[in-house]
Structure 1
Amino acid sequence: MATPHSKRAVRIKDAGDVFAGIVLLCFAIVLVFYLVPNYINEPPILQNPMMSPRWLPGIVGWLIVLFSILLILQGLLLDRSSEEDERSIEKGTTRRFVLMVVALVIYVALFESMGAVFTGILATLVLFVAHPVRTWWVYSLAFVFPIAVTFIFVKVMNVPLPIAPIGF
């Protein structure tokens, strides 16, 4: 006869890690088994599987699966209550949150009509204002990164992106 004390219960050491891992795992499963196979088309003549448009999203999806499982295991196995938790969240100002949302809306709303470069520059500048960047030369990165990323996607990876505004 088993007593209630003899049953071994799984004790969660860090509920935040377990919750985040489960959410990421669900997202990754949807990505790997539903979104990538159903919404990314492969050309009928494909000589190298690494040239497939499904390759990179598939790799990213499986990496998210792996790291989410590791995050769940970390939350179940590692007890960090004795250590100081450097992951504690400090809430930012409402202005910072609103500017981050504005940057996302700018990027999503203007991407097709204004092009990847202009929209990336504008959204990055808004993010720099949201997180006060005091060094002047860092603002040059707001111009360099969107141009470099667009160049890599268009010229190296052959991903068609809208480069400039329509009629420009």
Structure 2
Amino acid sequence: MTTSESKRRLKIKDTGDVIAGIVLLGFSLVLVFYLVPNFINEPPILQNPMMSPRWLPEIVGWLILLFSVLLIFQGLLVEGDTEADERTIEKGSPQRFVMMVVALVIYVALFETLGAIICGILATLVLFVAHPVRTWWVYSLAFLFPIVVSLLFVEIMNVPLPMMPFWF
């Protein structure tokens, strides 16, 4: 005779990790098996598979899938100590939230008008102000990163981005 207590149940140690992992798993499955094959077209004559427009989204999708499964396993196997947990969420001020939304709006609304570089610089500066960056040299990264990323996409990956309004 067995009781219900003798049945072995899987106990979730960290529900936040399991829920986040399941959401990311669902997103990655949609990305890998639906969005990439159906909406990213490959040219008929392709000399190098790494030059395919599908290559980077597929890699990202499979990595999200892998890490979401690992996150689910972490939530099932590793017990998080709530006192010493470094992943606890601390709410920021409403001003920080508004500035982050402003940075997103700047980037989305002015991308075509100002170009990728200027728009990226403005949005990054707003984000640095929203999250108080005290070191002065870090602000130089707000100029360096958008320039490097935009030139990487345009010159190396051949992704057409609007560079600057008066780019010759």
TM-score, length basis structure 2: 0.93
Cα distance change of structure 1 residues 123 and 82 upon mapping to structure 2, 3 Å threshold? closer
More displaced 10-residue stretch of structure 1: 75-84 or 60-69? 75-84
Percent identity over the alignment? 74
- The aligned counterpart of 2:66 is 66
Cα distance change of structure 1 residues 110 and 140 upon mapping to structure 2, 3 Å threshold? same
- Partner Cα distance (2:26, 2:108) in 1: 24
- The aligned counterpart of 2:24 is 24
- Partner Cα distance (1:133, 1:57) in 2: 32
- Partner Cα distance (2:136, 2:161) in 1: 29
Letter in 2 for 1:143: F
Deviations 1:135-162 (A, max 9, x none): 2222111111101100100001111111
Deviations 1:113-137 (A, max 9, x none): 2210011001001001101112222
RMSD: 1.7
Query: Please, which runs of 5 or more residues in structure 2 have no aligned partner?
Result: none
- Partner Cα distance (1:36, 1:50) in 2: 15
Letter in 2 for 1:55: W
1:167 deviates by 8.6
- The aligned counterpart of 1:163 is 163
8 Å CA contact 1:114–1:166 kept in 2: the answer is: no
- Partner Cα distance (1:163, 1:103) in 2: 18
- The aligned counterpart of 1:33 is 33
**Secondary structure of 2:5's match?**
coil
- The aligned counterpart of 2:127 is 127
User: Runs of at least 4 residues of structure 1 off by over 6 A?
Assistant: none
- The aligned counterpart of 2:78 is 78
More displaced 10-residue stretch of structure 1: 34-43 or 151-160? 34-43
8 Å CA contact 1:113–1:166 kept in 2: the answer is: no
- Partner Cα distance (2:142, 2:81) in 1: 40
1:88 deviates by 1.0
